A and B are shown apart, each in its own frame.
Chain A
Amino acid sequence: MFHFIIQLSLVCISLSMLGLIYRVIKGPSVPDRVVALDAIGINLVAIIALVSILLRTNAFLEVILLIGILAFIGTVAFSKYIEKGVIIESDRDL
C-alpha cells in the first residue's frame, strides 16, 4: 500500500513535470519559461525525496537542499537578466 502510494505520487509529479516541460518549450514569453523552470526545480525536490524513500536511503538529502538553493539563485539570476540584461553589475564599465 505504502509502496503503491509512493509510486502513484511519483507518477503524478512526473506528469506535472511533463506539463511544465511543455510550458518551457512552448511558453510564449521568456518569463513563462523561467517560472516553469523554477517549478520544475521544486518538483525535482519532491521527486528526489520520494525516490529517497523508495530507495530507503538518506544519501540524497543534500541534493534536495542544493536544488532548493540553485532554483532560487537561478530564478533570481534569470529575472535580473530579463530585467537589466546583466547578472553581475560591475563598477567598471567593460
Chain B
Amino acid sequence: MSLLHLAILSPLLLAIAIPLLYKYFRQIHTGWFVLPLPIVLFIYFLQYISLTREGSAMIKSIAWIPSLDINFSTKIDGLGLLFALLITGIGSLIVLYSIYYLSKDKEKLNTFYVYLLLFIGAMLGVVLSDNLIVLYAFWELTSFSSFLLIGYWHHREKSRYGAQKSMLITVFGGLAMLGGFLLLYIMTGTFSITEIISHSDQIFTHSLFVPALLCVLLGAFTKSAQFPFHIWLPDAMEAPTPVSAYLHSATMVKAGIYVVARFSPIFAEDSLWLSLVAGFGIVTMFWGAFSAVKQTDLKAILAFSTVSQLGMIMSLLGVGAAAIHFEEIDNSYFTVATTAAVFHLINHATFKGSLFMVVGIIDHETGTRDIRKLGGLISLMPISFTIALIGAFSMAGLPPFNGFLSKEMFFTGMLGVAEMNILNLDTWSALFPIIAWVGSIFTFVYSMIIVFKSFTGKYQPEKLDRKPHEAPFGMLIPPLVLAALVIIFGIFPNILSETLIAPAMMSILPGFSFDVHISFWHGPKPELFMTLGVAVIGTILYLTLAKWRGVYGLLPEKLALNRFYDEGLEKAQYGSFRLTSTYMNGFIHTYLVYIFTFFIVILGTTLFVKDALSIDTANVAPVRFYEVILALIVAVSAISILFAKSRLTSIILLGAVGYTVALLFVVFRAPDLALTQLVIETVSVALFLLCFYHLPEISRSEERIRFRMTNAVISIGIGAIVTLIALSAHSTKLFDSIAHYYVENTYEEAAGKNMVNVILVDFRGFDTMFEITVLGIAALGIFTMIKLRLARRKEG
C-alpha cells in the first residue's frame, strides 16, 4: 500500500472515527476534527504538480482480486490530479463553511460528516482509479453518499423525494456504465484504463464498440445531469447548502465530465462520440440556462445554472475530442475547445462554489431563498454582495473575471464547429454557435437575477422571518477565498495553464502537441462581438424580464420532464401491480395451468426443434394378450374416474387402477414391487376414505367434475408429450444398460439372491436411507399436525 492509496482511503478511515469523536467531544464542533484531513490531502496532492507537468504519470497498484484482473490500482496524471485538487481544495473550504453553517446543538453532525467523508473518499477514488471495476465501485459509493446527504433532513418529505430521485437516476446510469466497462473488458481483456487506451485503435472496429460507448455515455450523462437526465439535480437542492455547493456544483456532477474526458482517447475515434457529447452538451447548456431564468428559488436557479454550465463543459469536451477523430486537419481549433473545457471546469468550481455559499448565507441570515421576498440586502450584507457580484459576473462571462476567458474560448470552439463542419451534420453544425450564444444570453440574465434581485431593490423586512445581518466571519472565509481565486485566475490565467491545464489536456488528448496560452485580448475577433452582444441583449432582457416572463407559461405542463418522470414512476408501479395481480391470482388451479402449459411448450418445442422425435420399433418386445387386457382395465378405470358421479366411486376406481398396476408388476416379473404396491394401495385407499369422511359438510355436495376446455386440452397435451418423450427415449438408447453388473455380482459381492433387495440395501443403500427419512418425516408431520390441532381444540 502506497501513500497514494492511503490518501484515497484516509477519508473513509476517518469516517469510522467520527461517531466516537462526536460522542466524546460534544463541546467541540465535529467539523474541526474533519477539517485538517482535506487540507493535508490538498497539500499532499499539490506536490504531484511537479510530476505531472512533464506529462508523466504515477501508477501504484495493490492486489485486490488478481485472479479477475481487479486490482486497486491508482494512477495520478494531469486529469486525475486536477480533479483531486478540486475535490480536496473545495472540500476543505466546504468543511470550514459547514462548521459555521450547521448548528452544533440542533444537527446530527456525526452522520453529516460521516457521509461527507465517505463522499470525499469515494470521489478521490473515482478520479484516481486506473481500474474500471474499482472506478465503478467508487462511482456507486458517490451515488450512495450523495443519496444520504440529499436525504440528510430525512424528516422532510421533499428531501426524501429528491434523494430517491437522484438515487434512481444516477444508479440507473451507473449500472449502464458498469455494462459499458464489462464490454470494454470483453474487447480488450483488461480492466486497466491505461492499457485500454493503448489498445484503443484495435477496438474501434469491434462490434461491441458502439454499445460500450453508449453505456459509458449514459453513465456519464446521468451523473453529470445532462439533458434529459438533469431533472434530479434541482430536486437535490433539498440537501444542506454545503452539500449542494460541494456535490452538486463542484465535484460529484463533474464525475461524468471526468469520465467523458478520461474515455475520450478510447471512444473519440468514432464520430458518434463527438456528436453525442457535443450535441447533448449544447442542448443541456441551452435548456439549463433557459429554465434557470424561470426559477424563483435561489438554489433552484443555481441548480439549473449548474446543469447549463456542465452542458457547456460537456459540449467543449465533445468538440475537443474531434482532434482525435480528424487527425489530418489543423488541430488548434479543437485543442482550444479542450483547453476551454478544462479551464471552465476549474472556473465553474470556483464561482459556483462561492455562489452557493453566498446563497447559503442569505438563507441562513434571512430565513428564505425566495427572490420574491428578498431585496435590498446590499447595505446589510456588503461582503456577501461583493462575493455574489464577483461570482455572478464571472458566471455571466464578464471581464475581468475568469468566466470571461472561458466563455470566449467556448465561443471559439463553437465557431470552430460551424466553420470546420466537423460533426458531419451539415447545416446542424451551424446551429452550435447560435445555441451557445442564445444560451449565454440566458446565462447572463439569470446571473443578474441572482445578484440584483436579492441584493438590490426594495428591502422587504415584513416578509422575512429574521432580522438580516452580515454572516459570521468564519462563514465568509470560504466564499472569499473562492472569489479571490475567481479574480486571480481571471487576471493571471497563465498560472494555471502550465501547472494544471496542460497536464490535464495531455491526459485527455494523449500524443498531441498544443500550446496552452490563455490571453486576455484576442483582438477584434467574432468572439468579442458575441460577448458584447450577450452583455447588451442580456441587459435588455433582464430589464424587461417582467414583460416576457409569460414565455414560460407557453410550454404545456404535460411536456415537462419532471412530470414525465413522476408519472412514469407511478405508472410503472401501478402497471407492475396490475400485471402481478392479473397472473398471481391466488388460485392453485391457475398456477397449475401455467406450469403445465410451460411444460408442454418447452418439452414440445425441444422435441421438435432438436429433431428428437423418433419412433423405432426394433427393440420392442412382442405384445401379449393378457397385457393388452390389463392395460385396457387400467385405462378404462382411469378414464372412468373422470366421469364418476360420487367420490366414493372415484376412490374405488383408483383402487382398481392400483391393483391392476400390481398385476402388471406380476406379469412383468417384479414380485417385490407387486407386494409393496398391493399393501400401499390398500393403505392409501383407506386414507382416501378417511379424508372423504372428514370432508366438511359444505363441500360434500357430490357433483361431477365440471368440464373445462383448457383443462382438457392441457391434460391431453401433457399425456401426449410424455408419451412421445417415452417413445423417443426408448427408441434412442445411447448406451447399454449397466444391469448385467448386478446380475453377475449380486451373490458374489453382496451375498444375496434377491437382486432388487440387494440393490436397495447394498449397492444403492443411500437412497433407501433417505427414503426411510422421508417416511419418518411424513409420519412425524402427520403426528404433529393432528396433535397440535387437538391441543388447540382443547384450549378453545
Contact = CB atoms under 8 A, between A and B. Distances in A.
B753 to A, nearest CB: 11
Contacts of B633: 17-18, 21
A46 B358 CA distance: 106
Interface string B597-631: 00000000000000000000000000001100110
Given A60-B671, A63-B671, A70-B679, A86 B666 contact: no
A37 B666 contact: no
B640 A51 contact: no
Contact of B652 (A11, A37, A51, A77): A37
A18 B640 CA distance: 14
A70 B682 contact: yes
Interface residues of B, number: 33
Contacts of B671: 59-60, 62-63
A48 B637 CA distance: 20
B687 to A, nearest CB: 10
Interface in B645-672: 648-649, 652-653, 655-656, 659, 662-663, 666-667, 669, 671
A74 B682 contact: yes
Given A18-B629, A70-B679, A70-B682, A48 B666 contact: yes
B693 to A, nearest CB: 6
Nearest to A43: B663
Contacts of B686: 74, 77, 87
B685 A74 contact: yes
B58 interface: no
Mostly helix, strand, loop or mixed at chain A's interface? helix
Contacts of A77: 686, 689
Given A10-B626, A21-B633, A25-B640, A37 B679 contact: no
A81 B649 contact: no
A53 interface: no
Nearest to B673: A63
Interface in A12-53: 14, 17-18, 21, 24-25, 30, 33-34, 37, 40-41, 44, 47-48, 51
Contacts of B653: 24-25
Contacts of B629: 14, 17-18
Nearest to A62: B675
B709 interface: no
Contacts of B678: 63, 66-67, 70
B649 A33 contact: yes
A24 B636 CA distance: 11
B640 A30 contact: no
Contact of B659 (A44, A55, A57, A87): A44
Contacts of A14: 626, 629-630
Contacts of A17: 629, 633
Contacts of B662: 44, 63
B690 interface: yes
Contacts of A18: 629, 632-633
Contacts of A60: 666, 671, 674
B3 to A, nearest CB: 79
B184 to A, nearest CB: 70
A66 B686 CA distance: 17
Contacts of A55: 669
B637 A73 contact: no
A74 B687 CA distance: 12
Contact of A21 (B656, B663, B674, B690): B656
A37 B630 CA distance: 16
Contact of A73 (B656, B659, B682): B682
A21 B669 contact: no
A11 B628 CA distance: 11
26 contacts: A10-B625, A18-B629, A18-B633, A21-B633, A21-B637, A24-B656, A25-B636, A25-B649, A30-B648, A34-B652, A37-B656, A40-B656, A40-B659, A44-B663, A47-B663, A51-B666, A55-B669, A62-B671, A63-B666, A63-B674, A66-B675, A66-B678, A66-B679, A70-B678, A87-B686, A94-B790
Interface of B: 625-626, 629-630, 632-633, 636-637, 640, 648-649, 652-653, 655-656, 659, 662-663, 666-667, 669, 671, 674-675, 678-679, 682, 685-686, 689-690, 693, 790
Interface of A: 7, 10-11, 14, 17-18, 21, 24-25, 30, 33-34, 37, 40-41, 44, 47-48, 51, 55, 57, 59-60, 62-63, 66-67, 70, 73-74, 77-78, 81, 85-87, 94
Given A17-B633, A44-B663, 13 more contacts: A24-B656, A25-B636, A34-B652, A37-B652, A47-B626, A48-B674, A51-B626, A51-B666, A51-B667, A63-B674, A74-B685, A78-B689, A94-B790
